[in-house]
């Protein structure tokens, strides 16, 4: 079983739709949970991060973590064509010394159609 | 501009050759990470350096090596290249290790 599983999509939605992106994980040691956005031919950029179960909101984006179910989600409200990108979940766990190991999901390709 | 600079942006080379990818981290970041991204494997961690010292190794092949120099820039050396090494190679840097990596724009390597 992979440490992080992410539905690869692709996901195509109309403008204004609510988008739900999800990841599951198997490693209970994961402490920090992140979402990255990657536009075509660009590097991933950090969108949101959280370390506790519950919701964290930033504008149209809400990150949700459920540690008991080992499940994280990213919700995008009022989706815009500019949100079209690949979204990657990422999680980090302490790996000894002062090191943390960051593990990425494979990414979900989202297209928002005008 | 993320502040992490990678050169070159594109590289086309033949099998069996050796190439060097370069990365300048964001100002003040001591950690540098190298990742390989392919369509089927996603983002795969290769290696991490912190202030000139190797800190962690991931799925890095023996044909690949890296180093971080005193000015904190890093180089990833890929040798005896194979067709399967064609991928996007990203460098990232961070001040804190547990989150907040800043990625460069990547080097697209094509081995022919």
pLDDT digits (tens, 9 = 90+) for A35-93: 999 998 899 999 998 888 899 999 999 999 999 999 999 999 999 999 999 999 999 88
pLDDT tens figures, A46-61: 999 888 889 999 999 9
Higher pLDDT, A18 or A53: A18
Look at residue A77 in the predicted model and tell me its pLDDT: 97
Look at residue A9 in the predicted model and tell me its pLDDT: 84
Which position has the token pair 């547990």? B98
Check pLDDT > 90 for residue B110: yes
B46 vs A: CB within 8 A: no
Nearest to B103 among A32, A43, A100 (CB): A43
Nearest to B99 among A92, A97, A106 (CB): A92
Reference B58, options B46, B75, B67; nearest CA is B46
**For the residues A4-22, what does the mean pLDDT come to?**
94
Look at residue B1 in the predicted model and tell me its pLDDT: 81
**Pairing status of strand A32-38 against strand A45-50:** antiparallel
Q: How big is chain B, counted in residues?
A: 112
What is the SS3 string spanning chain A? CCCEEECCCCEEEECCCCEEEEEEECCCCCCEEEEEEECCCCCCEEEEEECCCEEEEECCEEEEEECCCCEEEEEECCCCHHHCEEEEEEEEEEEECCEEEEEECCCEEEEEEC
Helix (H) or strand (E) holding B3: none
| Eight-state DSSP code of residue B29 | -
Q: What is the DSSP string of B5-18?
A: EEE-SEEEE-TT--
Check pLDDT > 80 for residue A11: yes
Token pair listed for A107: 């990414």
Q: What is the rounded CA–CA span in Å between residue A96 and residue B42?
A: 25
Which position has the token pair 């390709």? A109
pLDDT tens figures, B34-49: 999 987 778 999 999 9
pLDDT tens figures, B40-96: 778 999 999 999 999 889 889 999 999 999 999 999 999 999 999 999 999 999 887
B56 vs A: CB within 8 A: yes
**Do A46 and B99 make contact, defined as CB atoms within 8 angstroms?**
yes
On chain A, the residues whose CB falls within 8 A of the CB of B43 are 44, 88, 104, 106-107
**Do B42 and A32 make contact, defined as CB atoms within 8 angstroms?**
no
**Do B104 and A46 make contact, defined as CB atoms within 8 angstroms?**
no
């Amino acid at each position: 079983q992979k440490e992080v599983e992410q539905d690869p999509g692709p996901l195509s939605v109309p403008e204004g739709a609510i988008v739900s992106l999800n990841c599951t994980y198997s490693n209970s040691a994961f402490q920090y949970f992140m979402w990255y956005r990657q536009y075509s031919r660009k590097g991933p950029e950090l969108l949101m991060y959280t370390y506790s179960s519950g919701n964290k909101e930033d504008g149209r984006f809400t990150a949700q973590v459920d540690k008991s179910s080992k499940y994280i989600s990213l919700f995008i409200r009022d989706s815009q064509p500019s949100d079209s990108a690949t979204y990657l979940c990422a999680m980090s766990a302490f790996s000894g010394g002062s090191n943390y190991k960051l593990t990425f999901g494979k990414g979900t390709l989202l297209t928002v159609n005008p | 501009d993320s502040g992490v600079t990678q050169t070159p942006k594109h590289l086309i080379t033949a099998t069996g050759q050796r190439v060097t990818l370069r990365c300048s981290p964001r100002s003040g970041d001591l950690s540098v990470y190298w990742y390989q991204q392919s369509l089927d494997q996603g983002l795969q961690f290769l290696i991490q350096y912190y202030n000139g010292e190797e800190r962690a190794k991931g799925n890095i092949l023996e044909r690949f090596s890296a180093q971080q120099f005193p000015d904190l820039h890093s180089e990833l050396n890929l040798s005896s290249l194979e067709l399967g090494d064609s991928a996007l190679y990203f460098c990232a840097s961070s001040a804190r290790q547990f989150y907040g990596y800043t990625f460069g724009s990547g080097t697209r390597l094509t081995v022919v």
